Chains A and B, each alone.
Chain A
Amino acid sequence: MMKEAIKCVFCCSSIEEKNFGIVILGKYICADCERKITHLTGDDPNYDVYQGGLKRIWFNEA
């Protein structure tokens, strides 16, 4: 049986050891998205994307 690949909840890229970022409430975030979140500024056009994604993680909808 094929093992399902672990994907980043934001960019859906396959997560391997080399690009592993963090796990929050059982959801994986790749290193690249984690870095982007760390450097997010309030006026970043992607702010709502990451905030919405984290909201879905909290709501268990991701």
Chain B
Amino acid sequence: MKNTWHFKILIRLYLARVFQWLGQQQEIYYVGSSEALPPPLSNDEENDLIERLGQGDGQVKSVLIERNLRLVVYIARKFENTGVGIEDLVSIGTIGLIKAVNTFDPHKKIKLATYASRCIENEILMHLRRNNKTRSEVSFDEPLNIDWDGNELLLSDVLGTENDIIYKNLEEEVDKKLLHQALLKLSGRERRIMELRFGLNNGTEKTQKEVADMLGISQSYISRLEKRIIKRLKKEIHRME
């Protein structure tokens, strides 16, 4: 007696198929199978099952789902032009149908097929949106172009940070060391002028006039000295490289 509950459900489902066969209704088949899908419920059948669902009879859910599987196929076919395979659309739609039967409120005056259609369509649309989102994400290894020799130009080949920040920082570090060594070759006054003018040693940059006032010499002399010192620094750095 204990094990008879599932036989009852199976008998109910198979009887539905036998009635469909006897009625010679238009048949829709399983994906990849010659077995026909159960036909939709008649109004009376649906009302009866929904009443029982409202009374808490969970076993009628299977019948409601199976007898609405054609609806899943019908809606899935509307999305066939999206590039998603019909088998995926049908399985996603079935998730929508299971959600529909489990969340259907029999007290609301709405047909199950209407509610289920929305759930199935929503489920498929949600999947398509999710897929589109993924499609807009591009891999760094995405080939942008392939030349005649078959060499791929990857997205990562053309990507860089603003002015190649990483390399720039490294190069700046090297330049700073060279500059520091070159500065050591200058006389005390020349080094002081450079430090004041360019804010070396964490100071602030000063104008030629300010430096001239600080050292008690003319601005034009500072200008001439600066040019000469920079020329010499360049030469020293070039020698060290």
Given the interface pairs A17-B5, A38-B102, A59-B87, the reply to whether A23 lies near B32 with Cβ below 8 Å is no
B94 touches A59 (CB 8 A): no
B33 touches A60 (CB 8 A): yes
A20 touches B94 (CB 8 A): no
Hey, which chain A residues are within 8 Å of B92, CB to CB?
Answer: 51
A51 touches B32 (CB 8 A): no
A24 touches B66 (CB 8 A): yes
A58 touches B126 (CB 8 A): no
Whether a CB of chain A sits under 8 angstroms from the CB of B2 is yes
Whether a CB of chain B sits under 8 angstroms from the CB of A37 is yes
Q: Nearest 10 pairs between A and B by C-beta?
A: A55-B91, A54-B91, A38-B102, A23-B62, A58-B31, A22-B62, A54-B94, A59-B32, A42-B126, A60-B33
6 A-B residue pairs with CB within 8 Å: A6-B6, A23-B13, A24-B65, A50-B95, A51-B88, A60-B35
Beyond the given pairs A22-B98, A37-B95, A40-B95, 7 more chain A to chain B contacts, judged by CB atoms under 8 angstroms and listed by A's residue number, are A17-B2, A51-B88, A51-B92, A57-B94, A58-B87, A59-B30, A60-B32
Q: Interface residues, chain B, CB within 8 Å of chain A?
A: 2-3, 5-6, 9-10, 13, 30-33, 35, 58-59, 61-62, 65-66, 69, 87-88, 90-92, 94-95, 98-99, 102-103, 126-127, 129-130
